[in-house]
Amino acid sequence: MNSLNVSLPGLELKNPIMPASGCFGFGREFSQLYDLSQLGAIMIKATTFEPRFGNPTPRVAETSAGMLNAIGLQNPGLEKVVNEELVWLEQCNVPIIANVAGSQEEDYVAVAKKISASPNVHALELNISCPNVKTGGIAFGTIPEIAKNLTKKVKEVSEVPVYVKLSPNVTNIVEMAKAVEDGGADGLTMINTLVGMRIDLKTGNPILANRTGGLSGPAIKPVALRMIYEVSQQVSLPIIGMGGIESAEDVIEYFYAGASAVAVGTANFVDPFVCPKIIDRLPELIEKLGYEHISECIGRSWKKHEKAAHYCS
């Protein structure tokens, strides 16, 4: 019996494990290492209307139990992603969640409309939270009314369900989640990176050429768990959780917080085989914890009554 399959808006997944956007390119590199059809889905690198070169290097810096990145949404642009990358991905037989980014509303709408028409794109991830672009991006992710309106506009044109990627760089994450729910979002992905900095001791300058970057990795896991715990009790949308996941235990912790699926990001750089390893290990862990199916774990940290019922039955 499959104890891992999940059903979310637009997504019938054989398991709830997917590489996070920006940590897996468009899949080509990892396809040399393992069969991508093992994955629940792939969140491909953010796509913008025009091609983007991104920021100058250095674009990454290590931190305690994490890393900073300021890639700057480098991507070949909508046309090439649709005509080359997504076409290439068809042979991999895995559902794609396309991350849609932009610096103004028209860009988001144009990308969403076209990319959502690709046959292997099963859902969109609306990137309103990239901390590494100078214009747009972050405003969409920090002002509830702007986030709601953008979600609404994208929903009007998208042929597939829309998941909105929330930024942790806000005072009230629940308010943001409710705003995009009002805007018609089908789901949430959370969290994007936290804005951070490291400084070179020799030069006295920030290590990243962009000065600031997005913090990811195990260091941000407690922040993500807390935010998912809060949001999952206040909105009815399914949540794809992310932030420092690197083991099957981490996956269960995210489900307990309230996630219905998870994405693995930075850990792919440390161990490129981490996703298939987690998928292999999960059924055993679920059984050990006394569940028949991973969906029973969703929100256990706050569904006290259901937990009790589970043990009584």
Partner 1 sequence: MIRQEQCTVISQNKLAENIYELTLQGELVHEMKEPGQFVHLKISGGYDPMLRRPISIAEILPDESRFKMIYRAEGRGTVMLSEKKPGDYADVLGPLGNGFPISEAGRGDTALLVGGGIGVPPLYELSKQLVSHGVKVIHVLGFQSASAVFYEEKFAQLGETYLATVDGSAGTKGFVTDVINKFKINFDVLYSCGPTPMLKALENQYSHKTVYLSLEERMGCGIGACFACVCHTGDDPDGYSYKKVCSDGPVFKAGEVVL
Residue placing its CB nearer to partner 1 in the complex, 130 or 294? 130
In the complex, minimum distance from the CB of residue 245 to partner 1, in angstroms, rounded to a whole number: 14
- On whether 127 is known to bind a ligand per the annotation, the reply is yes
Phi-psi region of 162 (alpha: psi -120 to 50; beta: other; left: phi over 0): beta
15 annotated to bind ligand: no
Taking the complex as a whole, how short is the minimal distance between the CB of residue 44 and partner 1, in angstroms?
11
- Cβ–Cβ contacts within 10 Å for residue 1, how many? 7
Q: Are strands 96-100 and 239-242 parallel, antiparallel or unpaired?
A: unpaired
Q: Give yes or no for residue 199 binding partner 1 (CB under 8 A).
A: no
d(CA 40, CA 59): 29
Which residues ranging from 208 to 247 are in contact with partner 1 (CB under 8 A)?
A: 217-218
Catalytic residue among 23, 92, 130, 275: 130
Residues 4-33, one symbol each (x = binds partner 1 by CB under 8 A, - = not), give ------------------xxxx--xxx-xx
72 labeled binding residue: yes
Position among 269, 283, 289, 302 found at the interface with partner 1 (CB under 8 A): 269
**Which of 10, 16, 40, 66 is the binder for partner 1 (CB under 8 A)?**
66
Structure tokens at 216: 């990811």
Nearest to 163 by CA among 63, 85, 262, 279: 262
Active-site residue, 312 included: no
Helix (H) or strand (E) holding 99: strand 96-100
> Among the candidate windows 6-14, 64-72, 94-102, 288-296, which touches partner 1 by CB under 8 A?
64-72
Q: Is 22 annotated as a binding residue?
A: no
| Own/partner long-range contacts of 296-303 (Cβ < 8 Å, ≥24 apart) | 297/252, 297/255, 297/256, 298/255, 298/258, 298/259, 298/260, 299/232, 299/233, 299/255, 299/256, 299/257, 299/258, 300/255, 300/256, 301/229, 301/256, 301/257, 301/258, 302/229, 302/232, 302/233, 302/258
The Cβ of residue 57 has, within 10 Å, a number of other Cβ atoms equal to 11
Question: Which of residues 5, 14, 60, 184 is near partner 1 by CB under 8 A?
Answer: 60
Q: Does 120 bind partner 1 (CB under 8 A)?
A: no
Please tell me whether 46 is known to bind a ligand: yes
Q: For residue 218, how many other CB atoms are within 10 A of its CB?
A: 18
165 is in an annotated binding site: yes
CB proximity list for 92: less than 8 A, separation 6 or greater: 27, 31, 36, 37, 42
Rounded CA separation 18/299 (Å): 20
Q: Which range binds partner 1 by CB under 8 A, 50-58, 120-128, 145-153, 191-199?
A: 50-58
Does 54 belong to an annotated binding site? no
Integer Cα distance of 122 and 9 in angstroms: 9
Site membership for partner 1, residue 204 (CB under 8 A): no
Q: Which is nearer to partner 1, 54 or 184 (CB)?
A: 54
* CB-nearer residue toward partner 1: 20 or 170: 20
Site for partner 1 (CB under 8 A): which residue of 5, 14, 38, 58?
Answer: 58
Query: How many alpha carbons fall within 13 Å on the CB side of residue 141?
Result: 31
Exactly one of 93, 273, 292, 310 binds partner 1 (CB under 8 A); that residue is 273
Residues of the shown chain interacting with partner 1 in the complex, contacts defined by CB under 8 A: 22-25, 28-30, 32-33, 45, 51-54, 57-62, 64-67, 69, 71, 74, 76-77, 217-218, 266, 268-273
Known binding positions for FMN: 21, 45-46, 99, 127, 165, 191, 217, 243-244, 265-266
| Residues designated catalytic | 130
